[in-house]
Chains A and B, each alone.
Chain A
Amino acid sequence: MELEKAGIPSVAVHTNVFARLAQSTARAAGMPRTRQCYVPQPVVDIPPEQLRAYIDGTDPVSKKPFMQGIIEALTKPLDDEDLKGMSFDRSTPRLLEPDTEDNLRQLFLQNNWTDFLPVILPTEERVAAMLKGTSHPPDKVVGRMRPTNFREAWELTVEKVAVNAVMAGARPEYMPVILAHAASGISARSSSTTSLAMTSVVNGPIRNEIGMSSGIGAMGPYNHANVAIGRAYNLLSINGQGGSVPGDTYMGTLGNAYNYGHTFPEAEERSPWTPFHVQQGWKPTDSTVSIFFGGRYTTSGFGPRATWKEKFVRCLTAIDHNQAPLIVMDPIVARLFVELGFDSKEKLSAWCAENARMPAREYWDDQWVQTLTHPLAVAGVEPFASKLKAPPDEMVTLYEPEDINIVVVGGETQGAFRMIGGRYVKSATISVDAWR
Chain B
Amino acid sequence: MTRIVVHDPRGYPPKVTGKRLASRPDTLNGKTLYLVDCLFDNSEVFMDQLRRWFAEHLPAVKTKIIKPRESWVDDPEMRAKIKEDGDAAILGVGL
A160 near B24: Cβ-Cβ < 8 Å: no
CB-contact partner of B10 in A2, A48, A78, A242, under 8 A: A242
B16 near A86: Cβ-Cβ < 8 Å: yes
- A315 CB to closest chain B CB (Å) equals 25
Q: How far is the CA of A39 from the CA of B7 in the complex (A)?
A: 42
Produce 1/0 per residue, B23-67, CB < 8 A to A: 111111000011000011111011011101100010000000001
Give the A interface residue count (CB, 8 A): 102
B93 near A84: Cβ-Cβ < 8 Å: no
Produce 1/0 per residue, A29-58, CB < 8 A to B: 111011100010001111010011011100
- Contact status of A101 and B4, CB under 8 A, knowing A21-B95, A242-B11: yes
Q: Which residue of A lies closest to B12 (CB)?
A: A155
Q: How far is the CA of A121 from the CA of B88 in the complex (A)?
A: 51
Size category of the B interface is 35 or more
- Contact status of A10 and B91, CB under 8 A, knowing A3-B79, A35-B21, A51-B49: yes
CB-contact partner of B6 in A44, A95, A376, under 8 A: A95
Residues of chain A within 8 A of B19, CB atoms compared = 1, 4-5, 29-31, 85
Q: How far is the CA of A45 from the CA of B2 in the complex (A)?
A: 57
CB-contact partner of B93 in A13, A31, A45, A48, under 8 A: A13
A75 near B20: Cβ-Cβ < 8 Å: no
Query: Does A379 reach chain B (CB closer than 8 Å)?
Result: yes
Produce 1/0 per residue, A124-140, CB < 8 A to B: 10010000000000000
Query: Does A318 reach chain B (CB closer than 8 Å)?
Result: no
A52 near B13: Cβ-Cβ < 8 Å: no
B94 near A15: Cβ-Cβ < 8 Å: yes
A95 near B20: Cβ-Cβ < 8 Å: no
Stretch at the interface among A288-296, A339-347, A364-372, A390-398: A364-372
Q: How far is the CA of A13 from the CA of B43 in the complex (A)?
A: 10
B94 near A14: Cβ-Cβ < 8 Å: yes
B41 near A82: Cβ-Cβ < 8 Å: no
- A96 CB to closest chain B CB (Å) equals 5
Q: How far is the CA of A200 from the CA of B48 in the complex (A)?
A: 42
B18 near A30: Cβ-Cβ < 8 Å: yes
A371 near B7: Cβ-Cβ < 8 Å: no
Minimum-distance CB pairs A-B, first 7: A85-B18, A13-B92, A240-B11, A154-B11, A87-B18, A98-B3, A239-B9
5 new A-B contacts, CB < 8 A, other than A11-B90, A13-B90, A46-B45, are: A4-B21, A6-B79, A6-B82, A15-B94, A100-B2
- On B, residues with C-beta under 8 Å from A are 1-28, 33-34, 39-43, 45-46, 48-50, 52-53, 57, 67-72, 74, 79, 82-83, 86-95
